[in-house]
């Protein structure tokens, strides 16, 4: 078996429309296939990465064992990583910085409390730990 990449990540959302609006406005996703499948799921695309947003099932708790822990997006360069931080700050999205030695990451939450990460492997040694937001 030879796999190429992750095709999509499916998320259960309290309000798929609100979650869609957040991913589009905050992270630059594009709503694709609007109206397909009677509007559910909602499909979003960023490059070759897709998210499918499903409504939370009635009587289903928001988090279950076995659910994905977080979703990570890669910034190709440190400049892109810094730009992402500046954009999130400008949009009022708080995040936490972590130095993973081989990479730097920031962590933040989407409207449904799903943990998101932006990471870069383009680590500049003299700026270690300089990126941080509360």
- List, for residues 20-43, the tens digit of each pLDDT value: 999 999 999 999 988 888 888 899
Q: Positive or negative CA dihedral for 36, 42, 44, 49?
A: negative
Q: Which residues contact 56 (CB under 8 A, 6 or more apart)?
A: 12, 13, 14, 62
Indicate the pTM of the whole model: 0.68
For residues 46 and 78, give the distance between their C-alpha atoms in angstroms, rounded to a whole number. Answer: 19
Q: Is domain 1-57 classified as CATH 3.10.180.10?
A: yes
Class of domain 69-127: alpha beta
- List, for residues 58-99, the tens digit of each pLDDT value: 776 665 555 666 788 888 889 999 999 999 999 999 999 999
- Looking at the chain, the domain(s) classified CATH 3.10.180.10 span 1-57, 69-127
């Amino acid at each position: 078996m030879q796999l190429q990449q992750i095709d999509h990540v499916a998320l259960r959302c309290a309000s798929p429309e609100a979650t869609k609006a957040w991913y589009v406005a905050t992270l630059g996703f594009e709503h694709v296939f609007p109206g397909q499948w009677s509007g559910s799921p909602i499909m979003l695309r960023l490059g070759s990465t897709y998210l499918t947003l499903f409504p939370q099932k009635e009587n289903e708790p928001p988090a279950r064992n076995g659910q994905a822990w977080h979703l990570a997006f890669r910034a190709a360069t440190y400049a892109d990583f810094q730009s992402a931080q500046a954009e999130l700050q400008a949009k009022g999205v708080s995040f936490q910085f972590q130095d993973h030695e081989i990479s730097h990451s920031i962590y933040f939450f989407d409207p449904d409390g799903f943990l998101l990460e932006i990471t870069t492997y383009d680590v500049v040694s003299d700026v270690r730990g300089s990126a941080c937001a509360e």
